[in-house]
Amino acid sequence: MEILLWIVIVALFILSIVGIFMPVLPDTLLLWGGFLLYHFFLASPGEGLPASFWWGMVALSILMYGADLLTNMYFVKRYGGSKWSSFAAVVGIIVGLFVFPPFGILIMPFILVVAVELLQNQPFERALKAGLGSLIGFLSSAVVKVVIQIAMIIWFFLAI
């Protein structure tokens, strides 16, 4: 039973990283699922993960969500996009996941941001630049989230 639980925990960790690139998978929840499985089913009674671990995971989880939103908004705005373009980028990620998996999460936000900017009578060059910002924002966010999740997983293994 213990081996099966470890397989499930490792699978949850792997799926959490996959979830960064496939927004349908709840990446942070999968990661937490692995932590909770260990804490409640594998750790000896009274020997679970320390409070400092849990507080650290809460802080890193909040940082991950913040990084995701702020990175996307920052790059779209930095590259000349509007608030509507930021919203279009998020919609594009979700739609792209179902329309052209897995490349749709890169292509659809770009197309929607460019379309939104053009509908707001922006010059084509500026719309293209905002679309590029959405692409850079998504990729930057993914890199930050991968780094944070790997840090969380390493911390978990050090804590046990």
| Predicted local confidence at residue 28, as pLDDT | 92
Task: Write down how long the chain is.
Answer: 160
- Quick check: 92 and 117 in contact, CB under 8 A? no
Burial (Cβ within 10 Å: 0-12, 13-18, ≥19) of residue 47: exposed
pLDDT, tens only, 76-86: 888 888 889 88
Position 99 scores a pLDDT of 83
pLDDT at position 97: 77
Domain ranges of the chain: 2-159
Give the pLDDT of residue 94. Answer: 79
Q: Provide the 3-class DSSP secondary structure of residue 34.
A: helix
pLDDT score recorded for residue 71? 81
pLDDT, residue 50, reads 93
| Regions of the chain with pLDDT less than 50 | none
Q: What is d(CA 19, CA 32) in angstroms, rounded to the nearest whole number?
A: 13
CA within 13 Å, CB half, 52 = 4
How confident is the model over 26-51, as pLDDT tens digits?
899 999 999 999 999 999 888 889 99
